[in-house]
Amino acid sequence: MHVDEWLQTIPSVWVYALVGAVIGLESLGIPLPGEIVLVSAALLSSKGVVHPVILGICASAGAIVGDSIGYLIGRKGGRPLFDRLGRRFPKHFGPAHIAKAEQVFNRHGMWAVFFGRFIALLRILAGPLAGALRMPYWRFLIANVLGGAAWAGGTTAAIYYLGVVADKWLKGFSWVGLAAAVLFGLGTTVWLKRRAAKAADKQEVAPETVGTP
Enumerate the domain spans of the chain. Answer: 3-171, 174-213
**183, 66 contact by CB (below 8 A):** no
Residue 57: per-residue pLDDT: 95
40 or 96, greater pLDDT: 40
Residue 212: per-residue pLDDT: 46
Secondary structure element (H or E) that encloses residue 41, with its range: helix 34-46
- pTM of the predicted structure, to 2 decimals: 0.67
When mean pLDDT is compared across 39-43, 129-133, 186-190, the lowest value belongs to 186-190
Q: Residues 6 or more apart from 113 whose CB is under 8 A from it?
A: 67, 105, 126, 130, 135, 140, 143, 144, 147
Burial class for 202, CB neighbours closer than 10 Å (0-12, 13-18, 19+): exposed
Residue 132: per-residue pLDDT: 79
Q: What share of the chain is helix, strand, coil (3-state, %, to 5)?
A: 85, 0, 15
Q: Residues 6 or more apart from 58 whose CB is under 8 A from it?
A: 16, 17, 19, 20
Q: Which amino acid is at 111?
A: W
Rounded Cα–Cα distance for residues 162 and 39 (Å) = 11
Within 13 A of 148's CA, how many CA atoms are on the CB side?
A: 28
Rounded (5°) CA angle 89-14-63: 45
